[in-house]
A = this chain, B = another copy of it.
């Protein structure tokens, strides 16, 4: 099946009723075929109704069935072959190796969730058996576990057309939990979105699941996105994107007659703190790693290192010198789309205009012409200027970083304390320094979701212990991650059964433990039957 330009609504590929648009190749600025149609509100409602109608059936599938489904999704995505990789590159400007790597990450993620739900851990099954003779009152039999929350709306991100998009982490974790998913595909990669949706649709059919389990909607975010988030059938929202977009959805969701949780991962400037001994020992190699991290994916990562904090001196001068030299050799990169390019240009200009900010480095000049290219950049500012100016904490999406020069330890601590919530915080340090800087570490622990030592924030491992999220405004709910197996917790809620006939309980709570999962029985963790 080639790319049709249609929506997938409850198993039907149909044209949208609200206008149309083309994908664009950001490396050339040329429009890509075919034309894509946009859904209207009624089409969103149809998708939500189908998801609602099958929510109970899907929630009640066995973990085995959903694992089969997740694995089949991965297989079907692989089966798209070169067509998918070529479309990703055409729509994003990413080289084939990046497209291939991201496909691997996406399929690996689906398979990890498949494996994880079989373990049953995420069900958090708990049983407290009856104590009929307890005084002054008997205890009833009480059993609880996590059940699926219901239909989930997922908003694909521009910068990860596979791993944070149609079959990305939000979709995979919602499917794993047993929630139907409606994806609002990002307009920056509509063809990629449709191909992946085709793969999921084939997996739905092959696994004999109801078609309402998955829909793909395309259209304007403020129109179909708002319709999706305010639809009464939607019970949670996953989003990766800008602060403005995430905040708007969060507000809409909270103002519903029935408010619903929004898990918006809205990015971050990911402070990198360079401590004096580390700078003294290895300013040049830190600069080298920093420049690579800054330019990965043309800086279009939510964990891009957009801020550097350090005490001024010879070590920091060497770091800035080495970074400046390395950046000067960085070729112009292709950005994802025209809006991203414009946002980057105006963001850098706005930053440069702030009091005390100096641009000290830039990548190679961009030749006028085709494509949405940009230049990497390094700026500096004093801690004094940084502390009074919240504009300097605004994320500039792209390969730009601001170095905050602190006079001393106290000013470094003040700058760290002034930070908003972040996805990550990085320390370049010796082990002895880390032990000495407990005050700084404690400040960072309050500000970030992930704390790194002697690395760089780009590279978000999909695993059990990952935390990709953080205090607001990095994310709307710091208690949850959008990457890794903990992500399932967003889409389930506990339900408790009191004195329920044993034979009619969900398998997870039956005496015989037919799923063989770990359970907390009267306070003790066990996989045994009762």
Contacts and interface: CB of A to CB of B under 8 A. Distances in A.
Given A434-B501, A454-B499, A498-B455, A121 B520 contact: yes
B525 A455 contact: no
B144 A477 contact: no
A126 interface: yes
Interface residues of A, number: 77
A56 B461 contact: no
A467 interface: yes
A460 to B, nearest CB: 10
Given A121-B520, A431-B501, A498-B453, A479 B493 contact: yes
Contacts of A471: 258
A493 B520 contact: no
A94 interface: no
Contact of A258 (B251, B455, B472): B472
Interface stretch (A3-11, A134-142, A277-285, A363-371): A134-142
A449 B495 contact: yes
A435 interface: yes
A268 interface: no
Interface stretch (A83-91, A154-162, A190-198, A440-448): A440-448
A285 to B, nearest CB: 15
Interface in A482-530: 486, 489, 492-501, 503-504, 518, 520, 522-523, 525
Contact of A435 (B143, B258, B435, B504): B504
Copies in the complex: 2
Interface string A430-466: 0100110000001001101111111100010101111
A481 B494 contact: yes
Nearest to A142: B465
A146 to B, nearest CB: 9
Given A494-B481, A494-B486, A525 B518 contact: yes
A147 B128 CA distance: 27
Contacts of A259: 250, 472, 476
A433 B136 CA distance: 32
A245 interface: no
Q: Is the interface of A mostly helix, strand, loop or mixed?
A: mixed
Contacts of A454: 499
A213 interface: no
A455 B497 CA distance: 11
A494 B472 contact: no
Contacts of A455: 140, 498-499
Contacts of A261: 477, 479
A205 interface: no
Given A142-B463, A258-B472, A451 B520 contact: no
Contacts of A398: none
A291 B151 CA distance: 38
A291 to B, nearest CB: 18
B464 A126 contact: yes
A463 B131 CA distance: 12
A496 B421 CA distance: 15
Nearest to A497: B451
Interface string A244-271: 0000001100100011010000000000
A453 to B, nearest CB: 5
A201 interface: no
A442 B56 contact: yes
Greatest chain B CB density within 10 A among A139, A489, A496 is at A496
Interface of A: 55-56, 101, 115-116, 119, 121, 124, 126-128, 136-137, 139-140, 142-144, 147, 149-150, 250-251, 254, 258-259, 261, 420-421, 431, 434-435, 442, 445-446, 448-455, 459, 461, 463-467, 471-473, 476-479, 481, 486, 489, 492-501, 503-504, 518, 520, 522-523, 525
Given A128-B463, A128-B466, A254-B254, 20 more contacts: A55-B446, A101-B136, A115-B523, A126-B464, A140-B459, A142-B463, A258-B472, A431-B503, A434-B504, A448-B495, A450-B495, A451-B496, A452-B499, A455-B498, A464-B523, A467-B496, A478-B493, A479-B489, A479-B494, A518-B525
24 contacts: A126-B465, A128-B461, A128-B466, A137-B459, A139-B463, A140-B452, A140-B455, A142-B465, A142-B466, A144-B486, A254-B254, A258-B421, A258-B473, A431-B503, A434-B501, A435-B504, A449-B495, A449-B496, A452-B498, A453-B498, A455-B498, A455-B499, A479-B493, A479-B494
